[in-house]
Chain A
Amino acid sequence: MFGYYLSLGLRSLRRNPVLTALMVFGIALGIAASMTSLTVFHLMGSDPIPWKSDRLHVVQLDNWDINQAYDEEKGRLPDQLTYLDATALMAAGRADRQVAMYKVVLPVQPANDGSGPEVKPYLMLGRATYNDFFPMFEPPFRYGAPWSREQDEAMARVTVLTQTTNEKLFGGADSTGKTVRFDGVDYTVVGVLDHWQPRVKYFDLTVGALTESEEAFIPFTTAIDLRAQSSGNNSCFKAPAPGWEGYLASDCIWIQFWAQLDSPAREAEYKNFLDAYVMEQKKLGRFERPLATLLPDVNEWIALQEVVSRDVEIQVGLAFAFLAVCLVNTVGLLLAKFMRKSGEIGLRRALGASRGQLFLQHLIEAGVVGISGGLVGLALTGLGLMGVRALYSEFKTITQLDWTMVAVTLLLSVLSATLAGLFPTWRACRVQPASQLKTQ
């Protein structure tokens, strides 16, 4: 029966190719617009590390000016910590894992001794961090392993390279044990990462969510020892005392701090510890504002830092309004089409077809329009994403259509076309056979 209805539907669609094309094109355009914007939205807003996002927490403290909140407009707490607090929390080590880190830009001076490719000196984006970074954010290793806690303490000149840097400097070979020179200092390579590109760089959102990835990691303690300045965001509410030491002792915030807390109980415990820490600091004359500490997890952090821009949100809203217009359009056209077939429907009713059978038949016809629209829409979505990649240079890596989105697209189009087909089908089935046959 299904096959027969399908062939009837196809025949009926072939009879008015222009009208059919119009309907398919309408659905395709609506689907493409909504799926393009939804893909961007989904990729930016979805959980980048779903298996442990609820256990990774940003530590937020309010060390800001007593007379002026850090973020008066939105009431958010500072998004980074001072050197004083970051190192105190690292030393306390009360979370299951914790990491203080910041962004550095380092000149790379390739050895060019013939062992690897010939490379001119270049600037590299690095991250000064602790060894816990690797088990916390789980970048995959290709060679070697993270540096050790002892090496953190010893301010060791060691580094973990990313795949691209290893490719550039060592031609992709296992470089563990070899040395690289950053800014006049030799570092020993202890590990090399495999390809790793979180969709959103959630662990440091201070300079944009989609900025370039790191090219190497070095110990935080080493970077401080070498007085490597932060290349990320730095905010002060009063000028720091002169010199590097003055800067480290200041209330300027420039360090991202994450804590891994493996259960809600641990989270509550850690929150108490933070509150106690701040109260202790208040006795020393710091933290003059009312006590406020926060431990947002990964998803809360992405929402708090507004990773999904308002433009993307408006685009999603508009795209779905656009889909609604396309659907209304399809309902109208399907209605026109089915009403035109009143005579045929009347004849079939008179010959004994039940309303249910006719309903099914026309719904299948609408479904065919939906699937065709979905397929064309999928192709158009691909085009749309290409357009988005061309328009937003920073989306290059993230706007790929994955299988879930393909499935969602097809489902959405069939669903919307069937939905659009429901009313016209119902109307068509109400045709009185007698009245239709009489006018013939």
Chain B
Amino acid sequence: MELRPILSALMRSRVALVLLGLQIALTLAIVCNSLFIISERAALMERPSGMNERDTFVLASIGFGADFNLKNAIADDLAMLRALPGVVEAAPINSLPMTNGGWSSGLSLTREQKTSSAYSAMYFSDDHGLDAMGARLIAGRPYRPDELGERSRKTKGWPPVIIITRALGNKLWPGQDPIGKSVWLDTDADASTVIGIIDRLQAPWVHNDEVVEFATLLPEVINEGAFIRYIIRTAPGQRDALMKTAEAKLAEINPNRIVREGKTVEKIRADAYSDDRAMMIILGVVIASLLIITALGIVGMASFWVTQRTKQIGTRRALGATRGAILRYFLAENFVITSIGLVLGAGLAYGFNVWLIQHYQTQAMPWYYVPVGCLSLWLLGQLAVLGPARRASRVPPAMATRSI
């Protein structure tokens, strides 16, 4: 295929060339960056919470009136919940991964240090907590019933034994075994000893990269005010039915309270990432609309050119050009225009990414986004131009002799 006649033809309609090229360039820049943001969000959403999310749900209760005794209520509730057929485990808990609300505290490696070595989410539960969440202990041992305590405004100090996540252990003691090490949750109080390591348990704040993997499980039940939350794990497939039963039973055994609607951990996850999901959908719609608009633009311009050059095409056909040659001419012309646009677009795409990095602290886009985007747009251009090009190839040679 000779490129020279194509180029000289294009030079005669520079404006159209610039417009189409610009459109393709902007399309490439937007599509690459949008796809990259989508992939970032997808990666964020794929991180496991460390819990068994399929079979778990939470229920909350808040008592009212002067006669309400939280401690007794918790004991009654747990006895009832754990006895329900189908419930594998139930435990009181102050907060859960992905709920975006909870207790965070600094941990120090020495009593003397002024600033904390790390910040961690604090989960308060009893010896059933780990199992109820479905989190996995990879080293050490779980809490024993004799290590349990409670926490209220009157509580001083911190428990002598704690369980932390593997990521938190790595942060505090890189490369060492955290079991048996001491850490201060309050430098004015006594240190706590690590007795167990959880494989993974996210903090409630999943959009905070600093602390998301740092969690501490404490053997204390919060006994303050009238509010309590339970995490309940059921046998597979029984979650939804048991959620209704548990809710009704809780209201039944103690009427002096409000039982808040149960929520599955799957729903908690969906809520936690709803903004990310929305962003992905919006960007997806933008990408789709953009590709449609660009494709239609190419079709429109190509049709115009074919009409404008009907006579020239006829002349070429009369001089011996085959239908295939005409078809290839328009395909090649589109390829040249798209390529020019893509060169410009590659620059724009990286520029846009740099702007995002500077203003929104996003990551750098991996190098392969632009080449893959270019390939897709070449393909899109060729497909879009195929219709008009075929129409051009059907122009009869006799057209050369006709005037319009």
Select one of A33, A246, A324, A336 contacting B26, CB under 8 A: A324
User: What are the interface flags for B285-312 relative to A under an 8 Å C-beta threshold, 1 for contact and 0 otherwise?
Assistant: 1100110011011001101100110000
**Interface 0/1 of A357-397, CB less than 8 Å to B:** 00000000000000000000000000000011001110000
Kindly state whether residue B384 has any CB partner on chain A within 8 Å. Answer: no
Looking at the complex, which of B71-79, B137-145, B272-280 is the stretch in contact with chain A? B272-280
B residues 250-291 with Cβ under 8 Å of A? 257-258, 260, 274-275, 277-279, 281-283, 285-286, 289-290
Pair B225/A333 contact, Cβ less than 8 Å: no
Q: Are A29 and B289 touching (Cβ within 8 A)? A: yes
Nearest CB of chain B from residue A366's CB, rounded to whole Å: 15
What is the bound-complex CA distance between A375 and B54, given in angstroms?
A: 47
Give the residue among B189, B296, B360, B403 with the most A Cβ atoms within 10 A: B296
In the assembled complex, how far is the CB of residue A333 from the closest CB belonging to chain B, in whole angstroms?
Answer: 5
Tell yes or no: B163 within 8 A of A by CB: no
A240 and B289 alpha carbons, distance in the complex (Å):
56
Set of chain A residues within 8 Å of B303, measured between Cβ atoms: 336
User: Whose C-beta in chain B lies nearest to the C-beta of A310?
Assistant: B360
Q: Tell me the B6-21 residues at the A interface (CB within 8 Å).
A: 15-16, 19-20
Query: B372 at interface (Cβ–Cβ under 8 A)?
Result: no
- Contacts A19-B300, A242-B154; A391 near B26 (Cβ below 8 A): no
Q: A247 in the interface, Cβ–Cβ < 8 Å?
A: yes
Contact A318 B258 (CB under 8 A): no
Q: A239-B186, A314-B37 are in contact. Are A107 and B154 (CB under 8 A)?
A: no
Convert B345-367 into 0s and 1s, putting 1 for each residue whose CB lies closer than 8 angstroms to a CB of A.
00000000000100110000000
Query: Are A314 and B356 in touch, CB under 8 angstroms?
Result: yes
Within 8 A of B (CB), among A14-44: 19, 22, 25-26, 29-30, 33
Q: Does A156 contact B (CB under 8 A)?
A: no
Complex Cα distance, B403 from A244, in Å, reads 97
Q: Give A319's nearest chain B residue, CB to CB.
A: B286
- A336 engages B300 (CB within 8 Å): yes
Q: Is A123 an interface residue (CB 8 A)?
A: yes
Distance in angstroms from B304 CB to nearest chain A CB is: 3
The dominant DSSP class at the A interface is helix
- The distance in angstroms between the C-alpha atoms of A179 and B96, with both chains bound, is 37
Q: Closest B residue to A324 by CB, please name it.
A: B26
Q: Given that A244-B153, A332-B20 are known contacts, is A67 also in contact with B115, CB under 8 Å in the complex?
A: yes
- Is A123 touching B29 in the complex (CB atoms < 8 A)? no
Q: Does A101 contact B (CB under 8 A)?
A: no
Q: Which of A285-325 contact B (CB under 8 A)?
A: 309-311, 313-315, 318-319, 321-322, 324-325
Asked if B62 lies at the interface with its beta carbon under 8 angstroms from chain A, I say yes
Residues in A whose Cβ lies below 8 Å from that of B300: 19, 22, 329, 332-333, 336
Contact A328 B19 (CB under 8 A): yes
Q: Chain B residue with minimal CB distance to A390?
A: B278
Which B residue's beta carbon lies closest to that of A234? B103
For A332, the closest partner residue in chain B by CB is B19
Q: State the CA gap A331–B304 with chains docked (Å).
A: 13
**Complex-state Cα separation, A315 to B258, whole angstroms:** 41
Chain A residue with minimal CB distance to B187? A238
State in angstroms the CA–CA spacing of A176 and B21 once bound together. Answer: 69
B30 within 8 A of A: yes
Contact flags (1/0) for B380-404 with A, using CB distance below 8 Å?
0000000000000000000000011
Q: A238-B186, A243-B154, A329-B300 are in contact. List 4 more A-B contacts (CB 8 A).
A: A29-B293, A246-B153, A325-B27, A440-B404
Q: List residues of chain A with CB under 8 Å of any chain B CB.
A: 19, 22, 25-26, 29-30, 33, 67-68, 105, 107, 109, 121-123, 183-184, 229, 238-240, 242-244, 246-247, 309-311, 313-315, 318-319, 321-322, 324-326, 328-329, 331-333, 335-337, 339-340, 387-388, 391-393, 423, 427, 440
**Can you offer 28 A-B residue contacts whose CB atoms are under 8 A?**
A26-B293, A29-B293, A67-B115, A68-B116, A107-B226, A109-B64, A121-B258, A123-B258, A238-B186, A238-B188, A239-B189, A242-B153, A242-B156, A311-B279, A318-B286, A321-B29, A322-B286, A324-B26, A325-B23, A325-B290, A329-B296, A329-B300, A331-B19, A332-B300, A336-B304, A339-B308, A340-B304, A423-B15
Chain B interface (Cβ < 8 Å from any Cβ of A): 15-16, 19-20, 22-23, 26-27, 29-30, 33-34, 37, 62-66, 114-116, 153-156, 186, 188-189, 224-226, 257-258, 260, 274-275, 277-279, 281-283, 285-286, 289-290, 293-294, 296-297, 300-301, 303-304, 307-308, 356, 359-360, 403-404
Closest CB pairs A-B (n = 9): A336-B304, A391-B278, A107-B64, A67-B114, A329-B297, A332-B19, A184-B65, A328-B23, A242-B154
